[in-house]
Structure 1
Amino acid sequence: MEKRIVLVTGGCGFIGCNFVRLVRQRLPQWRVINLDKLTYAGNLQSLADLPEGDEYRFVLGDISDRALVARLFAEEAIDTVVHFAAESHVDRSIVGPDEFIATNIGGTFSLLQAAREQWAKAPTADGASRRFLHVSTDEVYGSLGETGLFSETTAYDPRSPYSASKAASDHLVSAYFHTYGLPTLVTNCSNNYGPYQFPEKLIPLVFNNALHGRELPVYGDGKNVRDWLYVTDHCEALLAVLERGEPGRRYNIGGNNEMTNIEVVSLLCDILDDRVGPLSEGSHRRSLITYVRDRQGHDRRYAIDATRIRDEIGWQPSVVRFADGLAATVDWYLTHRDWLEAVIDGSYQDYYREMYG
Structure 2
Amino acid sequence: MIKPIAIYLPQFHPISENDSWWGKGFTEWTNVVKSKPRFEGHYQPHLPADLGFYDLRLKESRLQQEQIAKEFGIHGFCYYHYWFNGKRLLYEPLDRKLKNADEDLPFMMCWANENWTRTWDGSENKILLSQEYSFEDDLNHIQHLISYFKDDRYIKVDGKPVFIIYRPKFFPNIEETIKIWRDEVKKAGFPDLYIGFSQNHEHDYHPKLKGFDFAFQFQPDFQTRSKKNVFNMSVLKKIKRRLMKYMGLKLEKDQYHYDYFEYVQKQIELNFSKDVYPGITPMWDNSARRKIDPFILHNSTPEKYKYWLSHIKNNYTWKEMPESFLFINAWNEWAEGNHLEPCEKWSTSYLEATKEILN
The alignment's TM-score, normalised by the length of structure 2, stands at 0.34
- Which has the larger share of strand? 2
Return the structure number with greater helix share.
Answer: 1
> Per chain length, whose mean CA-contact separation is higher, i.e. which structure has more relative contact order (CA < 8 Å, sep 6+)?
2
TM-score under structure 1 normalisation?
0.35
